[in-house]
Amino acid sequence: MVSAPAPLAAKVALVTGASRGIGLAVADELRAAGAHVVRLARSLTDGAAERETILRCDVTRPDDVDRVLARVQAEIGVPDIVVSSAGVFYVKPFAETTPAEFMETIGVNLTGPFLVARALLPKLVQRGTGHMVTIGSSSDHIPYAGNSAYVASKYGLRGMHEVMAVELANTGVRTTLVSPGAVDTDMWNAIDPDTKPGFRKRKDMMRAEDVAEAVLFAVTREARLTVTEIRLAPSKR
CA–CA distances in Å: residue 222 to residues 33, 131, 161, 227: 15, 12, 21, 10
Catalytic one among 90, 144, 150, 155? 150
pLDDT band at 31 (very low <50, low <70, confident <90, very high): very high
Rounded Cα distance between 53 and 214, Å, is 23
Whole-number average pLDDT of the chain: 95
Verify whether residue 150 is a known catalytic residue: yes
pLDDT band at 224 (very low <50, low <70, confident <90, very high): very high
* 2 within a domain of the structure (yes/no): no
Share of the chain above pLDDT 90, in %: 90
* 179 within a domain of the structure (yes/no): yes
Residue 38: pLDDT over 80 = yes
Number of domains in the chain: 1
Whole-model pTM: value is 0.95
* 7 within a domain of the structure (yes/no): no
Mean pLDDT across 224-232: 97
What CATH number is given to the structural domain containing 27? 3.40.50.720
Mean pLDDT across 182-196: 89
* pLDDT value at residue 233: 95
* 5 within a domain of the structure (yes/no): no
Q: Are 227 and 217 in contact (CB under 8 A)?
A: yes
* pLDDT value at residue 1: 60
What confidence tens digit (pLDDT) does each residue in 174-187 have? Answer: 999 999 999 999 88
pLDDT band at 133 (very low <50, low <70, confident <90, very high): very high
* 198 within a domain of the structure (yes/no): yes
Contacts of 11 (CB under 8 A, 6+ apart): 34, 35, 36, 80, 81
Q: Are 192 and 149 in contact (CB under 8 A)?
A: no
SS3 of 78-144: the string is: CCCEEEECCCCCCCECHHHCCHHHHHHHHHHHHHHHHHHHHHHHHHHHHHCCEEEEEECCHHHCCCC
What confidence tens digit (pLDDT) does each residue in 80-129 have? Answer: 999 999 999 999 999 999 999 999 999 999 999 999 999 999 999 999 99
Rounded Cα distance between 147 and 153, Å, is 10
* pLDDT value at residue 197: 84
Mean pLDDT across 157-180: 98
Query: By residue range, what is the domain housing residue 176?
Result: 12-232
* 128 within a domain of the structure (yes/no): yes
Rounded Cα distance between 47 and 218, Å, is 28
* 4 within a domain of the structure (yes/no): no
